[in-house]
């Protein structure tokens, strides 16, 4: 823990918020294609924008239809174990909008990138050392 002045400051994992525009398309992509699970959903009232939390393993993402929460077209990186299996599973689904590749990057990570229906990019990566 890093000490700043007389306080102890500790930071934990972040939770990115990604903008979505269509609940059904978001659920098709994140739940059916990527296999995330809905942890909870929130609306202030019926017919109001959706805000929800999804997760898969230790990865937690918030998805929001609220225009002021975030901008579409964001990018996040998710550290992943067994990325070759993830690649195989995703491509075996035959999802008509996405056939991600697997690439060894010059900086030493194996990466698989997907783009959701709202222009948000998710870069799954595995360090070279953990794939050997």
Provide the whole-model pTM: 0.88
In a domain, 7, yes or no: no
Any domain includes 122:
yes
In a domain, 97, yes or no: yes
Tens-of-pLDDT digits for all 132 residues of the chain? 555 555 788 888 899 999 999 999 999 999 999 999 999 999 999 999 999 999 999 999 999 999 888 888 999 999 999 999 999 999 999 999 999 999 999 999 999 999 999 999 999 999 976 545
pLDDT at 4: 54
Domain-embedded: residue 8: no
- 6 within some domain: no
Q: Residue 99, exposed/middle/buried by CB under 10 A (0-12, 13-18, 19+)?
A: exposed
**CATH code of the domain covering residue 125:** 3.10.180.10
Query: By residue range, what is the domain housing residue 115?
Result: 14-131
Would you state the pLDDT for residue 52? 98
How many domains would you assign to the chain?
1
Does the residue 3 lie in any domain? no
Phi-psi region of 82 (alpha: psi -120 to 50; beta: other; left: phi over 0): left
Give me the count of residues in the chain. 132
Residue 57 counted as domain residue: yes
Any domain includes 76: yes
């Amino acid at each position: 823990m890093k000490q700043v002045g007389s306080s102890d400051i500790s930071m934990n994992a972040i939770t990115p918020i990604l903008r979505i525009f269509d609940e059904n398309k978001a659920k098709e992509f994140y739940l059916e294609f990527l296999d995330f699970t809905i942890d909870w959903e929130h609306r202030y009232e019926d017919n109001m924008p959706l805000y929800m939390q999804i997760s898969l393993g230790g990865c937690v993402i918030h998805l929001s239809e609220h225009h002021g929460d975030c901008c579409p077209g964001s990018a996040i990186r998710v550290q992943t174990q067994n990325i070759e299996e993830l690649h195989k599973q995703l491509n075996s689904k035959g999802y008509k909008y996405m056939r991600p590749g697997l690439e060894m990057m010059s900086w030493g990570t194996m990466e698989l990138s997907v783009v959701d229906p709202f222009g948000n990019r998710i870069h799954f990566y595995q360090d070279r050392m953990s794939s050997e």
